[in-house]
């Protein structure tokens, strides 16, 4: 089988040019309470404040804006539990294109509603019994639309890599050289895009993915040297982090750039969400809090080190969020 093309730092830089004026340059936050309890210097990249409430807008726009409208008059189709869906819907509307999003029927209602509000048509499926990719590809054929994969896509990865460009520049501006950068991972679009940018800026900075218990396919893949699969398709509060296996392009990048993977429990994620709300005054959804959870639970050594964690999304279901914060 032919090896698929892998993006480079030049592709990430080109993505930043496309996103200039559209994507939010999100802040890199440092809080004394977090430094005190960890014994290190912790910097948080607040992608919760990104357009559509998650980093996903970056990769979605970079991919959608390059779709040939003449070749694909039906617009774009994508699969997502919510954040990629919102990113693609918003990007397609900005580009004057139609969008259809295939979303699990158990996705948070807020994400379903917001995807529609951004201009998309939503088609739901049962994630336990139906194949979302098959559904999406069928729609693509029927409508002559382009498929925008949530993570295993050259242009999506390059767009997500702009998070890494920003955080390394912002860290340097405050006199910090990260020892490690942590990002949540489902299929790996965010963490591998970030890895491209981080390693280009500083080869010694380690990059780790963070996944929920039972959905640590990326961590296991890095250990075994081959793409592993998860046994379950659902069962974590981190609805955004339940891809079945790492993407092909993503894993190729990871093998060259990543130090490993960390795993957090749902309870550890809940603790991180409460901390972010009570101490940082930030709303972070479960999947978006995984990297912070890894730091707070000691999954990586922070004492005397500079660690960057990406808060990747803030689209928490209101009722679930309230229950977690009050729990």
Q: Which of 147, 177, 193 is the last residue of a domain?
A: 147
- Both 177 and 300 in one domain: the answer is yes
- In tens, the pLDDT along 283-325 reads 999 999 999 999 999 999 999 999 999 999 999 999 999 999 9
- Both 295 and 306 in one domain: the answer is yes
151 pLDDT exceeds 70? yes
110 pLDDT exceeds 90? no
- Both 188 and 266 in one domain: the answer is yes
- Both 31 and 101 in one domain: the answer is no
Question: Starting at the edge strand that comes first in sequence, how are the strands of the sheet with 206-212 ordered?
Answer: 28-30, 41-46, 306-311, 180-184, 206-212, 260-264
- Is position 320 within any domain? yes
Q: Centre a 10 Å sphere on the Cβ of residue 231 and count the other Cβ atoms it contains.
A: 9
CATH number of the domain to which 260 belongs: 3.40.50.1100
- Both 124 and 231 in one domain: the answer is no
Q: Which of 115, 147, 179 is the last residue of a domain?
A: 147
Tell me the pLDDT of the chain averaged across its residues.
Answer: 96
- Is position 319 within any domain? yes
Grade residue 109 by pLDDT with cuts at 50, 70 and 90: confident
Grade residue 81 by pLDDT with cuts at 50, 70 and 90: confident
- Is position 116 within any domain? yes
Amino acid 108: pLDDT = 83
- Both 94 and 39 in one domain: the answer is no
Closest CA to 66 of 25, 97, 106, 36: 97
CA distance 115 to 89: 6
Side-chain half-sphere CA neighbours of 50 within 13 A: 35
CA distance 91 to 220: 33
130 pLDDT exceeds 70? yes
Q: Determine the average pLDDT of the residues in 56-68.
A: 98
- Is position 248 within any domain? yes
233 pLDDT exceeds 90? no
Q: What is the 3-state composition of the chain as percent helix, strand, coil, each rounded to the nearest 5? A: 45, 15, 35
Handedness of CA 301, 303, 309, 311 (dihedral sign): positive
Domain count, the chain: 2
- Both 282 and 309 in one domain: the answer is yes
DSSP notation for 43-54:
EEEEGGGSGGGB
- Is position 36 within any domain? yes
11 pLDDT exceeds 90? yes
- Is position 6 within any domain? no
- Both 23 and 70 in one domain: the answer is no
Q: Determine the average pLDDT of the residues in 26-48.
A: 98
Q: What percent of the chain has pLDDT over 70?
A: 99
Amino acid 2: pLDDT = 55
Count of helix runs (H) and strand runs (E) in the chain: 13, 10
- Is position 3 within any domain? no
Amino acid 4: pLDDT = 77
99 pLDDT exceeds 60? yes
- Is position 111 within any domain? yes
CA distance 132 to 12: 28
Q: Which two tokens stand for residue 177?
A: 């050289």
Domain region containing 296: 11-54+154-326
- Both 126 and 221 in one domain: the answer is no
Q: Centre a 10 Å sphere on the Cβ of residue 322 and count the other Cβ atoms it contains.
A: 11
Q: Determine the average pLDDT of the residues in 154-183.
A: 98
Amino acid 54: pLDDT = 97
Q: Would strands 206-212 and 260-264 be described as parallel, antiparallel, or unpaired?
A: parallel
- Both 65 and 132 in one domain: the answer is yes
CA distance 315 to 252: 30
Amino acid 3: pLDDT = 57
68 pLDDT exceeds 50? yes
DSSP single-letter state for residue 323: H
Q: Centre a 10 Å sphere on the Cβ of residue 225 and count the other Cβ atoms it contains.
A: 9
- Both 99 and 170 in one domain: the answer is no
- Both 69 and 143 in one domain: the answer is yes
Amino acid 134: pLDDT = 94
- Residues β-bridged to residue 46: 311
Grade residue 1 by pLDDT with cuts at 50, 70 and 90: very low
């Amino acid at each position: 089988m032919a090896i698929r093309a892998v993006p480079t730092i030049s592709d990430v830089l080109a993505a930043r040019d496309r996103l200039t004026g559209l994507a939010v340059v999100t802040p890199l936050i440092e809080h004394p309470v977090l430094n005190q309890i960890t014994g290190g210097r912790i910097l948080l990249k607040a992608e919760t404040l990104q357009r559509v409430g998650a980093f996903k807008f970056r990769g979605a726009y970079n991919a959608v804006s390059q779709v040939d409208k003449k070749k694909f008059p039906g617009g774009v189709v994508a699969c997502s539990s919510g954040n990629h869906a919102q990113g693609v819907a918003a990007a397609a509307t900005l580009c004057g294109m139609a969008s259809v999003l295939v979303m699990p029927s158990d996705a948070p209602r807020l994400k379903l509603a917001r995807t529609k509000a951004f201009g998309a048509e939503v088609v739901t499926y049962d994630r336990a019994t139906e194949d979302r990719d098959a559904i999406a590809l069928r729609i693509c054929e029927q409508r002559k639309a382009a498929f925008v994969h949530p993570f295993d896509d050259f242009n999506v990865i390059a767009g997500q890599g702009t998070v890494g460009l920003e955080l390394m520049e912002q860290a340097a501006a405050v006199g910090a050289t990260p020892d490690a950068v942590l990002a949540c991972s489902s299929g790996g679009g965010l963490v591998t895009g970030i890895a491209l940018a981080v390693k280009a800026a500083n080869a010694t900075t380690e990059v780790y993915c963070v996944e929920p218990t039972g959905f640590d396919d990326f961590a296991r893949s890095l250990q075994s040297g081959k793409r592993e699969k998860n046994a379950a398709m659902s069962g974590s509060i981190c609805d955004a982090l339940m891809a079945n296996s790492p993407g092909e392009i993503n894993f190729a990048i990871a093998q060259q750039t990543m130090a490993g993977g960390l795993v957090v429990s749902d309870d550890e994620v809940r603790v991180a969400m409460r901390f972010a709300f009570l101490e940082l005054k930030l709303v972070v959804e479960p999947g978006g809090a995984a990297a912070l959870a890894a730091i707070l639970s000691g999954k990586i050594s922070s004492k005397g080190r500079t660690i960057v964690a990406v808060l990747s999304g803030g689209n928490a279901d209101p009722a679930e969020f309230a229950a977690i914060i009050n729990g």
